[in-house]
């Protein structure tokens, strides 16, 4: 019998299910608490997705809130309203600086502090706080910074920023008692820094079976009406949910829609649900081309996502060409699609391919609208039964390998060992 663990999770962008976004740490916290452990999540009250202050009022610096049994500690951080300029860097640093005195102020003493990237400043804050509190420091690596800057951001490996981030990265790898990675081959990258392989644990993203068992959640009225209209018109609905950023390469989807419309295909409709820096540009492109087979809708709360996904006939996940694929990916939205038993088209050259492993869809080359259009036409031509069988293979796969209870059992070994 394990001794109960008091765990603090530091995640700048952690989200509960009443907002759009990934709920990895909320889901983990709920499962851990079912097993008698204590969890607190320290996160920013300023939303990265909406670019708004969402949780604090007036002059509040922080606030504790219980959400479905999980304690969230909201921290006011510097705002930024567009792009990825210096204001976003200030936002990152403000979270990392403020979480330290706030943690020191609390009387609770954690057993473990798990600090999660994407940016490494959270890791540094986690290390300092763990040192001060006498807790073990676990570093969770979601994105490989600064390698992501080099592969996607166009930074030179020799730039001062990259060199500084590499030094910080290696420092955190050395100081962490364990390193949790979300990418299947991230250990290959980290081992090159001199870290022993047995210090690294692979715990990918996953889904909450409890979330997908609920069938009584309603969608926003306008979105529900749109789905009803498309379905009653006999459309095969090809859906995407998530961020509309550069890395998501949604221009591929818009260009695919253009090819199908120009080819006289009128029974396929694309629905893109979410927000991001590229959304306005994507909408302008669809309007400029006169596309009547594409619709956009704003982000919806995570708890409503299963209801939306059930309406899709085919789900798509796009991405850019990138050398980061050699370390694999851990695609949240693909696992959500699988949990909804939908056939999937994803664009990827990553070393791992859950869609191929599960035989639940088709894989096409990134940023290749011609190939994507051909695959969508092929899947849309299948019978409902054939698409259902394909989707169910994905459902069985994700429940076996990526359900939260399975992943938390691995996490507990990290917390206890």
Q: Per residue in 401-410, pLDDT tens?
A: 999 999 999 9
Q: Per residue in 217-265, pLDDT tens?
A: 999 999 999 999 999 999 999 999 999 998 899 999 999 999 999 999 9
383 lies in the same domain as 409: no
342 lies in the same domain as 202: no
192 lies in the same domain as 258: no
**Cβ atoms 134, 83 nearer than 8 A:** no
- The residue among 165, 162, 198, 193 whose CA lies nearest residue 179 is 198
168 lies in the same domain as 21: yes
33 lies in the same domain as 136: yes
pLDDT given for residue 309 in this prediction? 97
C-alpha distances out from residue 85 to 34, 44, 82, 145, Å: 41, 18, 8, 17
- The residue among 178, 210, 232, 186 whose CA lies nearest residue 68 is 210
- Retrieve residue 148's tokens: 């992501």
pLDDT given for residue 2 in this prediction? 58
**In-domain check, residue 1:** no
359 lies in the same domain as 246: yes
**Full domain range(s) for residue 113:** 6-206+403-416
Taking 70 as the pLDDT cut, the residues of the chain under it are: 1-2, 83-84, 146-157, 323-324
163 lies in the same domain as 215: no
- The residue among 317, 341, 348 whose CA lies nearest residue 240 is 317
Number of domains composing the chain: 2
**In-domain check, residue 325:** yes
86 lies in the same domain as 202: yes
Question: Dihedral angle at the C-alpha atoms of 383, 386, 392, 398, nearest 10 degrees?
Answer: -100
300 lies in the same domain as 333: yes
pLDDT given for residue 1 in this prediction? 46
252 lies in the same domain as 138: no
pTM of the model: 0.91
350 lies in the same domain as 409: no
**In-domain check, residue 219:** yes
pLDDT given for residue 108 in this prediction? 87
274 lies in the same domain as 324: yes
**In-domain check, residue 15:** yes
Residue whose token pair is 């909450």: 208
Q: What is the CATH number of the domain that holds 395?
A: 3.40.50.2000
């Amino acid at each position: 019998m394990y001794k109960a663990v008091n765990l603090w999770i530091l995640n700048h962008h952690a989200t509960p299910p009443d907002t759009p976004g990934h709920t990895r740490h909320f889901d983990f916290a709920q499962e851990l608490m079912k097993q008698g452990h204590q969890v607190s999540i320290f996160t920013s009250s300023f939303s990265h997705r909406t670019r708004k202050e969402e949780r604090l009022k007036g002059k509040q610096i922080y606030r504790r809130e219980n959400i479905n049994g999980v304690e969230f500690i909201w921290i006011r951080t510097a705002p930024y309203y567009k792009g990825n300029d210096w204001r976003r860097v200030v936002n990152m640093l403000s979270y990392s600086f403020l979480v330290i005195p706030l943690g020191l102020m609390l009387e609770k003493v954690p057993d473990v502090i798990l600090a999660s990237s994407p940016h490494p400043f959270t890791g540094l804050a986690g290390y300092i706080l763990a040192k001060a509190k006498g807790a073990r420091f676990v570093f969770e690596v979601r994105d490989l910074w600064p390698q992501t800057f080099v592969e996607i951001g166009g930074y030179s490996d020799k730039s001062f920023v990259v060199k500084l981030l590499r030094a910080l990265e290696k420092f955190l790898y050395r100081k962490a008692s364990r390193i949790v990675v979300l990418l299947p081959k991230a250990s290959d990258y980290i081992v090159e820094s001199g870290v022993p392989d047995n210090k690294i644990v692979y715990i990918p993203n996953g889904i909450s079976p409890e979330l997908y068992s609920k069938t009584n959640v309603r969608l926003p009225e306008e979105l529900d009406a749109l789905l009803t209209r498309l379905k009653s018109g006999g459309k095969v609905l090809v859906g995407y949910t998530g961020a509309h950023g550069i890395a998501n390469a949604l221009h591929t989807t818009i260009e695919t829609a253009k090819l199908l419309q120009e080819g006289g295909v009128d029974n396929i409709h694309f629905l893109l649900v979410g927000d991001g820096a590229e959304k306005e540009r994507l909408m302008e492109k669809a309007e400029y081309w006169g596309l009547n087979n594409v619709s956009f809708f704003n982000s919806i709360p995570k708890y409503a996502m299963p209801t939306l996904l059930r309406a899709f006939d085919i789900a798509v996940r796009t991405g850019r060409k990138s050398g980061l694929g050699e370390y694999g990916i851990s695609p949240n939205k693909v696992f959500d699609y699988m949990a909804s038993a939908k056939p999937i088209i994803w664009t990827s050259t990553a070393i791992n391919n859950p869609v191929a492993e599960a035989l639940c869809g088709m894989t096409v080359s990134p940023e290749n609208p011609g190939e994507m259009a051909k695959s969508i036409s092929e899947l849309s031509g299948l019978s409902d039964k054939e698409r259902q069988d394909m989707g169910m293979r994905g459902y069985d796969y994700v429940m076996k390998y990526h359900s939260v209870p399975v992943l938390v059992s691995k996490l507990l070994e990290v917390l206890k060992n």
